[in-house]
Structure 1
Amino acid sequence: MNLGDRAWQLMLDLTKFHSISQSPGESRIAREIHSRLANLPYFQLYPSQLRLQPIAAPNNPAVVAALVRGKGRTGIILLNHHDVVDIEDYGIYKELAFAPLELTRSLDPGILPPAARGDLLRGDWVFGRGTMDMLYGLALQLALTEAKAASGDFAGNILFVSVPDEENNSLGMRHAIGVIREFQQVYGLDFAAAVNCEPHGYDGEDHVIQTGSDGKLLPLICCFGRETHAGALYDGLNPYLLLAEVIRMLELNPGFSDACAGEYTYPPTVLRGGDLKKGYNVSTPPAAWACFNIFTLAASPREIMAKLVRLCQQAVANGVASFHRSAAAWQSISGTNLTLPEIQPQVLTFSDLWQQCLRAHGESFVREIDSFAAQLVKKEPDLQRLTLELIQRVHRYSPDDSPKIVIALAPPF
């Protein structure tokens, strides 16, 4: 069986594991990949070069790493992820999402976008969850690893690495770094490249391989207001007014697109958001927040943070102006005279807030936050929620409880 046919069969086999990120299937597929490699004569001869690295997380995800040694110290990492996104968007075809051949035969071309409809009608493509992202890429790398393990005569070394949780918080890749470093040190390897078989938007032209990668930041912007009742709105400040301005100014803002060597990143977008209310009532929330995806090529995190501070300062000015315009208009139509609070929110980075609290409370503040963070990590697996709770806790120590915007960087980094 040639390499392409072997990869095709492996892909069809692996889709059967329903390896949705953070599900039991994600754990099962890792152990299946490990089992297939463990059954190869090469790894029965060199078992120490095969690793199943469990991760302490729900459903027992794991990293699979396998080293095939050739001649010399130079190595290449074959990198892939074995989790896939959920299947809720498959609608009436959910039951077939992990049966690529049957799904492809069953799909109604009329429900597909034009490009996908053309692919289906040409008969050159197979459809199904994970077939492209990225079980075929995994299968291709696994087939290549099998082939090199069988030949045993080639220049260089191949380290196959398959990780979970790529579709969420990159838990697998963050654990895989230690595994890769260990193989590198134990076997004296000099890695020259990492090949990631992640798909990208092929446009039919010659540009089918991309070198390098962009960076990613996840700023968490938390707006603290002044709580008030819905029947006394102008006595306080709803933090959603500030957050709405931040979102309006930052969402799809091409001024935050980064560029390098003729390539451009997409602009920012909101990925999560909410407020700090525990439930429904008719009071405004104490704070509202959102996480923004920002891709980078050349800009440093420091440069991005400086731009975010300037944008949030303008958002504050816009929000305060909107508040006063609304109050003036409402007084005019209602005939009511309002006594408006003094509102001039600050814009702080998390570092600014930390230093402010440290000056006010000293080392006792550091000890308390360290203790709180240690407990929080044990009970809160959601990295963005963990970041939000840490901001909220530190903010309790702020000597200034007036409205403000706090900008932090949330994981994954």
Structure 2
Amino acid sequence: MAIDTKESKARTLSYEEWHPAERVEALAVRLVRLPSETGTPGEAAFARELVSLLKEIPYFRDNPGDIRLVDSLEGTAAQSVVATVRGSGRKALLLTGHYDTVAVENYHDLKDLCREPYALREALIESLDRPDLTPQELRAKADLASGGFLPGRGMLDMKSGLAAGIAVLDRFAGRPDRTGTLVLCCSPDEERDSRGMRALRDALPELMADMDLEPVGAINMDVTSDQGDGSEGRAVFAGTIGKLMPFALVVGKSSHASYPYEGLSAQMIAAEIVRRVEANPDLSDTGEDAVSPPPICLEARDLREVYEVTTPERTWLAFNWLYHSWRPKDLFDRFNGEVRKASEACVARLADNARRFCELSGGSAWPEPGTVRMLTFAELKAEAERQLGDRFQDALLAKQEALKGVDNPLTVSRELVIWLFDRARLSGPAIVTGFASLHYPATRLDRSHPDDAALEQTLTTVMTERGEDPSRRLIWRPYFEGISDMSFFGSPEGRSSALVAENTPADWLIDRPNPHALRCPIVNIGPWGREFHQRLERVHVGYAFEELPQILAEIGDRLLADT
């Protein structure tokens, strides 16, 4: 029988008395020791290992049916784990996170130790015992030597967050007076296409209905980087950044190297596009009192495979472009505008160079370079369909099927765009633009919705009680700047974009959410550390192992309370 006295409620809120650091650190180390790089057999096996670990908690030994596995979307063998600890009432708080990690190759000579945090810490300190350290390496050496940080692949991103979530679940399960329900959701594939979370999102309506639960909020426990004292990392993120991957296939007009003015260099146009776009703060989204990082080029390729004394005809570019307040159309218009300006500048520069060379050499005038035609992917596809007629759909499906085994979205998109360009019987100079990867929508709490307002009020109460002491204070930050599963959690309302869908080459890179997806507000509160994804990836242990689980537990108890 549930205890319902003022004294029990006071004890429930006495989080200072719960000191989970030792337990959370042990869990984090266990999770790090399990390999789970995205797309590997380790990732595929991780869910079973996690279930075994969870069944060490007495509640799950007694209620094994409260742990469920959810298959991911096609292309990912790994499963999501949904672990539920039930209390009274229908209200549920979901704690979410991913268990996959990036690859381990950047540990180089220490790769065999990258999943052994304590041995790795000593080895890293030893490797940093040299006089030529960069400022970043000096900081890493001091961090590791202090004992205040622990390294390892996935220790920061994000197995410490999962460990905190498991500890909170364990604490909740041990309380006889549980009000509400706590659900831990652990998904694969966040580091690529979020195929774990997207499948989980689509499955949640049925799962929650089957358990007769009403999710009233969710907390993602992903990590943030703080190069200072942690004051920026000790944060509640009210939303997450959005991401698009605009591409440009640049098709020039080849020329013999001895006669450069007879053609138009695809390389020159591509270089000018990169110059105009790369890390340009004028292209940052600055709406809603926040600033998104500027776009950067993730791929630039000369598409010729053979050697010739001829200028290459085709170059491919893809940019990672983050945003938070724009619509996808706003971003696409900006990208196309920069591409158009770059092509016009190159045509004008080439014409001027040709004129000056003629004056210098005394030769005859060269032909003027032609105007560069610009097409969106949707326009290219329509032209290819016009050329192929009734054969188009079957040919396109066959080409997509042939690329199904390729796990790099940029490769898939590039191959499809080139294939369609050839089928459309087009020639250069021309540029095709579109989106080369999965769209990650931006999200943020909506204060006009009662669930969002209730979650925000609970968070504000917890933050206020922690006070202004810099060692304990939590701050609000508007957007989590790391691309994350948060983009796909909750309602898809207002997040789908026909423009993105019609300009994304591969069908499986277009997110098509369950129209009945649950509407549930989500924020991010996770560990902080430095250099995640890098050799010196390390988590701040005091916050991740002690404070974070206390914060999550308090939020859960307050949000799920009957009052």
Change over 3 Å in CA distance of 1:189–1:322 after alignment to 2: farther
Taking the TM superposition and a 5 Å limit, the aligned residue runs for 1:385-396 are: 385-396=411-422
Count of aligned pairs between the two proteins: 412
Which of 37, 49, 56 is the equivalent residue of 1:20?
37
Structure 1 residue 276 displacement after superposition: 2.7
Alpha-carbon contact 1:69-1:152 (below 8 Å) kept: no
Q: CA offsets, 1:296-355, max 9 Å, x none? A: 111000111111111111011111122223333443444443543642112222123234
Note if 1:87 corresponds to 2:104.
Answer: yes
Note if 1:194 corresponds to 2:218.
Answer: yes
- What code does the residue aligned with 1:347 have? M
Alpha-carbon contact 2:73-2:196 (below 8 Å) kept: no
Q: CA offsets, 1:138-177, max 9 Å, x none? A: 1111222233344464223222222222223333323332
Bigger shift: residues 211-220 or 159-168? 159-168
Change over 3 Å in CA distance of 1:152–1:356 after alignment to 2: farther
Alpha-carbon contact 2:24-2:167 (below 8 Å) kept: yes
- What code does the residue aligned with 2:170 have? E
- SS of 1:259's equivalent? coil
- What code does the residue aligned with 2:409 have? L
Structure 1: distance between partners of 2:58 and 2:34: 25
- The aligned counterpart of 2:372 is 345
Q: CA offsets, 1:190-233, max 9 Å, x none? A: 32322121111234327522221111111122112223443443
Structure 1: distance between partners of 2:207 and 2:425: 49
- SS of 2:248's equivalent? strand
- The aligned counterpart of 1:219 is 246
- The aligned counterpart of 2:293 is 266
Which of 142, 146, 149 is the equivalent residue of 1:125?
149
Taking the TM superposition and a 5 Å limit, the aligned residue runs for 1:313-352 are: 313-337=340-364, 339-340=366-367, 342-352=369-379
Structure 1 residue 79 displacement after superposition: 1.4
Alpha-carbon contact 2:59-2:173 (below 8 Å) kept: yes
Alpha-carbon contact 2:90-2:212 (below 8 Å) kept: yes
Structure 1: distance between partners of 2:97 and 2:77: 18
- The aligned counterpart of 2:172 is 148
Alpha-carbon contact 2:100-2:190 (below 8 Å) kept: yes
- The aligned counterpart of 2:48 is 31
Change over 3 Å in CA distance of 1:113–1:175 after alignment to 2: same
Structure 1: distance between partners of 2:349 and 2:153: 46
- SS of 1:273's equivalent? strand
Structure 2 stretches lacking a partner, 5+ long:
1-17, 440-563
Note if 1:378 corresponds to 2:404.
Answer: yes
Alpha-carbon contact 2:351-2:369 (below 8 Å) kept: no
Structure 2: distance between partners of 1:180 and 1:229: 60
Alpha-carbon contact 2:84-2:184 (below 8 Å) kept: yes
Change over 3 Å in CA distance of 1:319–1:49 after alignment to 2: farther
Change over 3 Å in CA distance of 1:231–1:75 after alignment to 2: farther
Which of 410, 427, 435 is the equivalent residue of 1:401?
427
Change over 3 Å in CA distance of 1:18–1:182 after alignment to 2: same
Change over 3 Å in CA distance of 1:188–1:399 after alignment to 2: farther
- The aligned counterpart of 1:98 is 115
Which of 199, 220, 227 is the equivalent residue of 1:175?
199
Structure 1 residue 368 displacement after superposition: 3.9
Taking the TM superposition and a 5 Å limit, the aligned residue runs for 1:41-52 are: 41-52=58-69
Identity %: 27
Q: CA offsets, 1:389-413, max 9 Å, x none? A: 2222222243642321111112221
Structure 1 residue 68 displacement after superposition: 2.6
Which of 309, 317, 321 is the equivalent residue of 1:294?
321
Structure 2: distance between partners of 1:410 and 1:159: 34
Bigger shift: residues 57-66 or 269-278? 57-66
Structure 1 residue 31 displacement after superposition: 2.3
- SS of 2:150's equivalent? coil
Structure 1 stretches lacking a partner, 5+ long:
none
- SS of 2:224's equivalent? coil
Bigger shift: residues 11-20 or 265-274? 11-20
Change over 3 Å in CA distance of 1:284–1:181 after alignment to 2: farther
- SS of 1:284's equivalent? coil
Structure 2: distance between partners of 1:65 and 1:295: 30
- SS of 2:279's equivalent? coil
Change over 3 Å in CA distance of 1:364–1:17 after alignment to 2: same
Alpha-carbon contact 2:82-2:183 (below 8 Å) kept: yes
- The aligned counterpart of 2:339 is 312
Change over 3 Å in CA distance of 1:59–1:407 after alignment to 2: closer
Structure 2: distance between partners of 1:337 and 1:171: 59
Structure 1 residue 87 displacement after superposition: 2.9
Structure 2: distance between partners of 1:138 and 1:385: 32
Which of 23, 42, 49 is the equivalent residue of 1:6?
23
- What code does the residue aligned with 1:270 have? C
Q: CA offsets, 1:99-143, max 9 Å, x none? A: 111222331455453432332343211222221111111111122
Structure 1: distance between partners of 2:207 and 2:306: 49
Change over 3 Å in CA distance of 1:121–1:41 after alignment to 2: closer
Structure 2: distance between partners of 1:357 and 1:199: 44
Bigger shift: residues 9-18 or 141-150? 141-150
- What code does the residue aligned with 1:14 have? L
Structure 2: distance between partners of 1:150 and 1:244: 61
Structure 2: distance between partners of 1:385 and 1:226: 23
Alpha-carbon contact 1:256-1:267 (below 8 Å) kept: yes
- What code does the residue aligned with 2:215 have? F
Structure 1 residue 47 displacement after superposition: 4.1
Bigger shift: residues 49-58 or 28-37? 49-58
Alpha-carbon contact 2:256-2:310 (below 8 Å) kept: yes
Bigger shift: residues 294-303 or 276-285? 276-285
- What code does the residue aligned with 2:184 have? F
TM-score by length of 1: 0.89
Bigger shift: residues 126-135 or 232-241? 232-241
Alpha-carbon contact 1:165-1:172 (below 8 Å) kept: yes
Taking the TM superposition and a 5 Å limit, the aligned residue runs for 1:236-251 are: 236-251=263-278
- SS of 1:379's equivalent? coil
Alpha-carbon contact 1:31-1:52 (below 8 Å) kept: no
Bigger shift: residues 250-259 or 80-89? 80-89
- The aligned counterpart of 1:411 is 437
- SS of 1:263's equivalent? coil
